[in-house]
Each structure stands twice: as structure tokens, then as C-alpha cells.
Structure 1
């Protein structure tokens, strides 16, 4: 006896070898034996043999029209044998009955299963909807196949053009566009971003990196809404002639300085910071713009400003005008360079000059300052500031050592990027050059002094703190953002706020509001300040700033790496490989000498930090930002640039300095990864 049975929704036929109670021992055509319950048996037959039976049943099923069968079935529940009598016009033979079962089971849109061998025809409306859905899927499959063929032919389908970024960065995996892209990539063995580059969806690797960042951080675009420029209060005009020191590309000039020689022989140093807080008020439309962005975004050759250009133009410390500023004045006794007193004022500051590193770096050197050589604007003021900032740095280093840290390294090299018409120039600058140090030390002095001012008045602010927290060296050296004063051991100061870049960092704008409250209201400042002690919104700002700043830092790092690879392509020419010098930073990590490109050399022999190595750069990828290099030899050069020690690793390679990336580009202020940068 042969059986036709249902095994977990699959219909099979076999020879019944034996029966025990309600179960059969059945041998399948493959020779395998299986146990079949009696309730799963639909038909018993003697001929033909199972293989031929199933072939005949399938032929019957293929010949049955589902639409006609549905019309014959009616709307009542039925057994397949009953329907067989109606459909065939006679009691169905075993293979006909089996073919009917196969057809019913293979048409779930037409027939709902109600039990073993029992079915019910789908309602007409449900069937129409299901058939329409099936037809839609069929059409979509045709469209998808067409998309795949176009992509394989390196043509971007028109329907995919407005979806390129979404397909790459946040795809809807159920869409036919994504399925087509995924299928084409699988067939071509290529990554989606590379295929989009090949078909013209993305014009270049640079656009790929930039588009990804904008998609994630600026989903509504980088344009500004129309803004109404604020009315400024009446302010006294300072009796100074201030000047700034920045890179030639700087447009957001946050800080300037002045030197006034007093009749009693003392000197008054002015540190003047642009004052957007005098025009922007908490929770107004301009504040909403700044708070949404949190910071200016920097990349080689471009930037996305925190504030609209027309607003920056109102507050930037441009030469030839008296600009609103918050000024910190320090009166010095030049006999020992001690600070006699400090005072903070809101005023208009005449800006006599915007000096540029590009014009002065070769003139204002330590050697020229020591011998009074060279001629340049504000020469005497710069010479005096140079003397004071050396004392400031010496005091910070003493306190840093008192915290248990080694002195900062000042003989390292920083790099400036300049991009024009997609051609990049990367210039080396020695860290701690006089102009850098003047700007950096004045900023640290101002931020530390204003941090103390807020603390003394009981007004919260956004502080940067480092050290004495957590377990282990890395945890202790991690920079934290707090709303109360705490030491920044890496800088060697008792407290440190960000307050000297309010045109390009939202934290500095917030702190400037708080500083102005202290200046205007004195002991009642805690009641008048925009942010009160333990203000939950201040904690929210800290959290949001950390997230945004981290994303901006990662993007800036990626773009600097991209432009380093572009520089390699420019310099390599037609050579098969490019030979370069590099310095070992740690273990298998090396940094090129001529550009700030850090790469990993797996399997490199253990060598001391600071050792110089020679490499052949074989290949690099501007999409993945990877470099393939070959080690040629290692030279223990005593004159090599020192590698990072543990403190520098925590500061430069994590976020352990006063101004981690993304800072204003190194050329615009001080080196971006330098603890003293601002």
C-alpha cells in the first residue's frame, strides 16, 4: 500500500512498510524511512509507484486554473475530495485528488487552509487585494531588475538620483532602490559607495565624506534662516589700540590684545574677546541657531560657521573699527611680572590691526625677539607680551609638575592645511612659536581668570577639568566638562572655562552671558545670570555640546586624513611607490614627517618611541582612508622628533587638552591639538 501524506506542510508519497496503532512506517523513494501519523495521511493508493504518482499529481496541479477552481469552490468550507467530485465531474482518481491538493495548497491567496485537506475560498475583495499586491510585486521586481542592469552598466537610474545619500547612509532596506543597489553590488563584488562613485551618484571621495557628515549632522542643510541683526547697547570706548593675531584665512576673529604703559611704570594688558552675548539673548532666534549647531565645523579649505556671516560681521574684531568686546585687563608689575589686579569690562574696543601669521611668523622668532631684530607692526607690544607669557607658561608648568605631570613638550611640529581648486598645501609649523604662545597663554590666562570670577560669584559656568577622577591613568587624564570649578591639571591651572571663542563655540557664548552677569550685577549675579546654579538646561547644553563636538572632531580628522592622501597623490606622480620618513609614536603606530598622517604597520618590529623609520607607501584609498605601507629600515636617530609620552597620548590622541579637535585650524590660532590652544 502506498500513502500520500502531509509532512510539515510538504506533500510526499511513499510505501507503507508497516502500521503500529495510529502510525505508519513509510519508505520514501529516496530509501529513507519516516514515521507518519494516520491523521496526516490524505490518500491511500496501490498504483502507480510513489515517484510516478507524484509526477502525475504535479502534472494535474499544473493544469488546474486557480481562478476557475476558486469559482467552482463557492464560499463554504470544503474537503478536497468533495471539490474533486465537482471539479472533475467524477470521483477523482488518487493522482487527480493529489493534484487538486497540491493546487489548493500552492494558492494561499485563493484558498485558506482550515485543516488537513480542508480549505475555504478567499472572499472576493480579499482575493482582488492579494492579486493586486502580487502584481505590484511583480512589477517592482521588473523595475528592480532594470535598475540592477543599469547599475551594472555604470548608469545611475533616474529614480535613484535623489536617494543617493539615503541609500548610502540610512537606507530603507525594503525599498526596491536599495534592493537593486544591494543586488548590483553583490553581483559586481563592489561596495555601495564605490558603485555610487562609478555611476556618478557621488562625484568624488571628498564629496562622499562631506555628504555623509552633512546627512548625519546637518540633515536640514547648512543654510541659515533670515535673521534680524540685534541692537547693541551703548558701550564706552576703550582707550586702547588693540590688535589680533590670526591666520590669513580667519574670518571669525574672536580675540585681540592691547598693551598700555601706565604712568607709574606698570603695564596694563588687555585681552579683548568678541561679545556676541551683548546682542544674542538666551532662547531668542539667534540663540536657537547657535544652540542647534553648537560650534563652527572646520575642515581643510572650508568651514561651516556656527553663526550667520552677517551676524559674525557685527561682532568679529575687524580692524579699523571699535567693536563690542568683553575685556579682561591685567595690571602687571614688570619688575617681576606679577599680576597686581584684574578687571573685566564690556566696552567697544578700537581694533588697530588684524595681524596674520602668514606675514609675521618668519619675523617674530625667539631669536629676533631676543635681539630686537626685524621690523613689524606692534613690535614693542609683542616683545612685552612675549616676556609676560613666558612667565605665565613657567608658572603653569610649575603647577602642572605639582600635580604630578611632566612638562609639556614644545619641540613638536604642527601642520596647516590650505586648499585651493582641490590642490592641497600642507605646511609645517613648530609648536610653541612666539605668536602662537602669546595667543595661547593669554587665552589660558583669561579663561582661568574668568573661571575664578564665576566661581567667586557663585555663578555656574561650563568648565574644562582634567585629573583626579576615575581609576587608571587614562581615566584621570580624560578631560571632563563640568558646571563647577575644578583643576585642569594638564594645563596647570586651578580652573578653566571656555570663554574666548564665543563666535565659534556655543559653550563660550553661554559662559560669556554668565561672565557679563558677574560684571553687571556683582554679588547678585547668581539671581540675574541667565543660568542659575544647578540649572538642568545647562547640563543639557553640556551633553549636547559633547555629542556635536565629538562628531565634528571625527569629521575634521577624516577630512585632514583625506587631504593627506590627496597630498600623497600630488607628490607621488607616476612613481610606483612613494618613499617617506616617519616617526614611531607607539608600538606599530607611526606618523609621517612631512604631513600629519598617522598609519599602522602591522608586524613592525618593536622599536623605541621617537625612532625614525623609512617607509614605502604602496597604495592608499581615499574612500576608506587606508594606507598600505612597507617598512624599509629603522634608524634610532637621536635628533628625531620625540614621540608622545603617556601624558601626550592621553591629551593629543584622546581629548585631554584645553582645546581638542575640532578647534579653529592651527593656522588660525594656536595648534589645534595643543594644550595651550584656544
Structure 2
């Protein structure tokens, strides 16, 4: 019946009655299916429909879907957390694949393959850089060679350093098919043993600074007094640059030492011919880098902290996408090693010089800034130049990696306009002041870059935990970083691992710690203090290089056990 007025009812048509009865029956069948799936999960078996919807259930659920409701019901019945329940039921075959597929589900739902794209040719009639012999310095795994260096005028009293950046911005245009792909990805994604590139390999190959080629480049030339290292002038050119060598620092660190760069009497030893031929320019660049770093530290107000090493991960025998069971090798590399310092200071010089120049011309760009080194003051992005206290420069615009960071490609378009048009560049640049599109790129990049860095850190933690298992390591020496409720956060000696231990400890104390069970899904491990190795060190000043890093804990999922067991009234029948 349906209401037909106060106290009056009218018999519903037979068709409506049948539809209502069918809906009731369908809800009964759905509820029966939910109960059946929930029983299977409690019994330790994962129904195929639940397995197929695993990542959606956990991270972006439709809370009316029967698969989701079955997981909620089973979690209640078994009194197990949803993630543990699904793991015990066999829904998660591999911890590595779980993390990988979750990342793809959230960030690359259509997969990582590229659509068919063709690299447009650079049609500019670019002059050949006169007298330049450029060389790059990268890791052996680097395929996107964005930057190279050159040195001219040694012994003349005035030395010109060239910082040469690959120039995809001379061929690609905003809004093109390739630009849309790059903008969607925003950056290359790095992880141990694998990466997802921002651009397809053949596009990268078209613009990378490959040795043996005259490569189109956006070049910054900085002229220095050879004795005092005072910066005399800077100039930006669009040109073709002869690249004579692609050096790989992981193969050269053993030869290119501080002594080799600063002492003429130090022998070349087994150094490769290519690097021996570049000893003089590398020596000048190292001397310059130390000077530039010292100048930045004056502005910064304190020295940069290089007291922890960088860690490199190698997956043995890995040729493609990892499966999670590869043998992992973790090696250390001193931060601020000579070749690192040379490249880092050259890139800071380019990014700060170009950032200042765009600001002087009124051309907007994508900047990174930090108001001060006070605790809690974070690096921010904006479209106007502002000081970066952490680096110690007046402004900083990422511009030196246009093949692997979208911000750098955007800034390169603006720099190219500045090089071509000078004082009228603001009228010709692709992005104008207060351009809504530029702000959209900024926020999109910030979010994507943070997500990618988080995933990289998570996968480095995964492989560190794997390393502990593979090496049979059950005890570690560690240093207390800070207090936690009912315990402390410690950093392992010699491994990139931060984890909690039970019991209050003083900051700076060195401990011998016994490791508990490793949870590869939660990326979690806890420790128990076995012994104090020394007296507590004096509390260190807070440093901006990692004391605030979080311990990886249980994964945040979207399954809410408070969701009603009954089908909501507005749920589709």
C-alpha cells in the first residue's frame, strides 16, 4: 500500500509490489553472499572477488560493496585487524607486490606504460659551443643525463665554468602530447632496483647529454677569478655542446679522492684514462665547490651536516621489475665525497643564478624556499623568488633536471624565453605572472613528489628489512634519536634503519639492541635493549637532516569496523 492522504492508503500496483519483493530478495541474496565470504575469510580462505578488489577495499573502498562488507564482518567475527585477516587468508601473496601494487593502484591506475609518442626534433639553428669539452658525472644507473660541466681558461687568471643542461624545452611545448604525459607523472619515481621514468626512454635518448654527441643544451657560463674565485659574470646561452665523457661516480670514487684533486704529486694510479685527462678541470671544480659551499654556509649560519652516509641499494641479478626476493646489497658512500660536492655546488649555482635572473626579469618560475632554519620551518614551493635558508641562497629554482622533474622542464621553458627575449621575456614566456596553470602545476608537483619520495623511502626500508633477514642479523648497535611514549626511537649504525625500542633512553646513548619479528607488510620492526654501550652523549642540537623522520608503522587503511553490518537504506539493491 502507499499513503493516499491522512489515514488513507491505496493498494500499490502489482508491478510496484513485484519490484519491491525482488529488491528484498536481492538484498537477502547479497547478505547471504556477504556472510558466506566472511565465513571463508574467518576460516583462512580468501574468496576470489575479495582478492580481485583487495586494494580498492583497503584504500579506496565503496563501503556499500559486498566485498568490503564481507571484510568488515569477518574482521569483527575473528577479532582480527582487516590487514592481518586478509594476509592470513592468503589475499596477499607477496609483501613486495603488495606495496608495489598499492602504489600503482593509487598513482598509476592505468599502468606505467607510455602511449605511442615521438620526440620532436629541435629545429633551432644552435651554434656549437666554442672550445667546450663537457663531461657529466652520474651514477651508473642513471639514464637521464641532464647535466654536464666544462672548464675553460685554466692558467689564464680567468676561468669560465660551463653548466650545461639538456634542453628538451627547445623541442617540447606546453600542452603537447609529451608534455601531458610528463605533467601527469611530474617526476621520475625511484626505488631500489627499478624506476618509473617521467618520459619514455626513446624521448629521453633524443635529448640526453650522451658522450660523443654535440647535444642541444641550455648553458650557464660563470666566470671566476682563478686566484680568488670571485664570481665576475654569468651568461646563459642556447647552443650545441660537445660531450666528451659520461663519468660514473660509483666507478670513480676510489680514484678521485681529495688528495688526487688537491695534490699535484698524487699519482693517477689505476684511474681510467678518461678521468685522468680531466684531472685539471676536476681539480679546479673541487676547489671552487669548496669555496661556494663555504660562502653558502656563511649565509646559512652554520655548516651543513654530512655526518651520516648515503646508502646505495643493489639488487643482485635484477634486470627488470623486482619480485621482492632478490638478494640485496647495501653499501655506504660518504656524503660530500669530492665528485658529489662538485656536482652539487654546480647545480646549486645554476638553480640560484637562474632563479635570481628570472626574478629580475619579472618572469615567474617554480621556486623552493625556506624562511629559516628554526625547527618546524619547512621548505615550501612558490612562483616568486624567496630565500632558501637551508641552502643559503637568495632564491632557488629547480632547473637542472628537465628530463626527470617536471618543475625543471617548466622552469627551462621560462629560462629559454629569458635567453631569447631578455627584458621582454615576461611577455614571451609560456607562463605569465599569476598564471593559474602555474599554480596548478606547483600543487600537483608538490603532492606527487611527496608521494614518490614516501614510496622510495618505504621501499628502501623494505629492502633494509630484507637485508636483515638475508644476512641473519638479529642484533644491532644503534644510537638514540629521541623519546617516544614508553620507549625511544633509535637509528641503526651502518644501516638506513630507524625503529623503536622499549624503555626510556637518553638521547645520544649508544645501545646494543635485539630485533623482534619483522613485519614486511607494515614495514615494522621493534627492538629490545640488551646493553648500554657508552655513557649518554651530550644532547645534540636539532638538525634539519632527518631527526624528524617517522618510523614506518602499520599501514593506514580505509576499512572501518564501525561501519554498520546492515545494508544502508540508500545502498543499491
TM-score, scaled to structure 2: 0.86
Report the Cα distance in structure 2 between the residues aligned to 1:193 and 1:509, rounded to whole angstroms. Answer: 40
Structure 2 counterpart of 1:430? 334
- CA deviations on 1:392-443 (whole Å, 9 max, x unpaired) are 1111112222xxxx22123322211222452222111111111111110111
Structure showing greater radius of gyration is: 1
Cα distance, 1:195 vs structure 2: 4.0
- CA deviations on 1:289-316 (whole Å, 9 max, x unpaired) are 1111111111112111111222111112
Runs of 4+ in structure 1 deviating by more than 4 angstroms, as ranges, are: 110-116, 118-122
Structure 2 counterpart of 1:272? 164
Sort the Cα spacing of 1:310 and 1:341 in 2 relative to 1 into closer, same or farther, 3 A. Answer: same
Asked if the contact 2:477–2:492 (Cα under 8 Å) also holds between the matched residues in 1, the reply is yes
Answer yes or no: is 1:391 the counterpart of 2:287: no
Answer yes or no: is 1:474 the counterpart of 2:375: yes
Answer yes or no: is 1:286 the counterpart of 2:190: no
Report the Cα distance in structure 2 between the residues aligned to 1:191 and 1:511, rounded to whole angstroms. Answer: 47
Report the Cα distance in structure 1 between the residues aligned to 2:3 and 2:65, rounded to whole angstroms. Answer: 29
Answer yes or no: is 1:177 the counterpart of 2:67: yes
Report the Cα distance in structure 2 between the residues aligned to 1:318 and 1:192, rounded to whole angstroms. Answer: 50
Asked if the contact 1:197–1:204 (Cα under 8 Å) also holds between the matched residues in 2, the reply is no
1:293-312 matches, cutoff 5 A: 293-312=185-204
Cα distance, 1:189 vs structure 2: 3.6
Sort the Cα spacing of 1:439 and 1:262 in 2 relative to 1 into closer, same or farther, 3 A. Answer: closer
Structure 1 counterpart of 2:57? 167
- CA deviations on 1:105-150 (whole Å, 9 max, x unpaired) are xxxxx7989999x976544222211211122123223333332344
TM-score, scaled to structure 1: 0.73
Asked if the contact 2:51–2:91 (Cα under 8 Å) also holds between the matched residues in 1, the reply is yes
238, 249, 260: which one aligns with 1:346: 238
Sort the Cα spacing of 1:245 and 1:136 in 2 relative to 1 into closer, same or farther, 3 A. Answer: same
- CA deviations on 1:253-276 (whole Å, 9 max, x unpaired) are 111111223684432211111111
Sort the Cα spacing of 1:652 and 1:462 in 2 relative to 1 into closer, same or farther, 3 A. Answer: farther
- CA deviations on 1:437-489 (whole Å, 9 max, x unpaired) are 11101110111111121122221111111125xxx9335x3212121221112
Structure 2 counterpart of 1:460? 364
Sort the Cα spacing of 1:446 and 1:653 in 2 relative to 1 into closer, same or farther, 3 A. Answer: farther
Structure 2 counterpart of 1:235? 126
Structure 2 counterpart of 1:620? 518
Answer yes or no: is 1:186 the counterpart of 2:82: no
Structure 1 counterpart of 2:477? 581
1:457-536 matches, cutoff 5 A: 457-467=361-371, 473-475=374-376, 477-536=377-436
Asked if the contact 1:586–1:643 (Cα under 8 Å) also holds between the matched residues in 2, the reply is no
Answer yes or no: is 1:128 the counterpart of 2:9: no
Say which SS state the counterpart of residue 526 (structure 1) adopts: helix
Say which SS state the counterpart of residue 215 (structure 2) adopts: strand
1:247-262 matches, cutoff 5 A: 247-261=139-153
Say which SS state the counterpart of residue 494 (structure 1) adopts: coil
Structure 2 counterpart of 1:93? none
Structure 1 counterpart of 2:568? none
Structure 2, unpaired ranges of 5+? 319-325, 551-573
Structure 2 counterpart of 1:49? none
Sort the Cα spacing of 1:367 and 1:306 in 2 relative to 1 into closer, same or farther, 3 A. Answer: same
- CA deviations on 1:647-672 (whole Å, 9 max, x unpaired) are 425x77479xxxxxxxxxxxxxxxxx
Report the Cα distance in structure 2 between the residues aligned to 1:281 and 1:603, rounded to whole angstroms. Answer: 58
Report the Cα distance in structure 1 between the residues aligned to 2:63 and 2:120, rounded to whole angstroms. Answer: 47
Structure 2 counterpart of 1:414? 310
- CA deviations on 1:61-103 (whole Å, 9 max, x unpaired) are xxxxxxxxxxxxxxxxxxxxxxxxxxxxxxxxxxxxxxxxxxx
* Greater mean deviation of Cα atoms: 273-282 or 362-371: 362-371
Sort the Cα spacing of 1:112 and 1:148 in 2 relative to 1 into closer, same or farther, 3 A. Answer: farther
Report the Cα distance in structure 1 between the residues aligned to 2:138 and 2:239, rounded to whole angstroms. Answer: 22
Say which SS state the counterpart of residue 349 (structure 1) adopts: strand
1:14-53 matches, cutoff 5 A: none
252, 255, 260: which one aligns with 1:363: 255
CA-atom RMSD, angstroms?
A: 2.6
Structure 2 counterpart of 1:91? none
- CA deviations on 1:217-256 (whole Å, 9 max, x unpaired) are 2222222211121121232222322111111111111111
Structure 2 counterpart of 1:220? 110
Sort the Cα spacing of 1:360 and 1:133 in 2 relative to 1 into closer, same or farther, 3 A. Answer: same
Report the Cα distance in structure 2 between the residues aligned to 1:331 and 1:210, rounded to whole angstroms. Answer: 47
Q: Which has the higher strand share?
A: 1
Asked if the contact 2:502–2:529 (Cα under 8 Å) also holds between the matched residues in 1, the reply is no
Structure 1 counterpart of 2:557? none
Asked if the contact 1:148–1:184 (Cα under 8 Å) also holds between the matched residues in 2, the reply is yes
Say which SS state the counterpart of residue 219 (structure 1) adopts: coil
- CA deviations on 1:520-576 (whole Å, 9 max, x unpaired) are 111111111111122222222212211111222222222222222111111227xxx
Answer yes or no: is 1:590 the counterpart of 2:480: no
Cα distance, 1:152 vs structure 2: 4.1
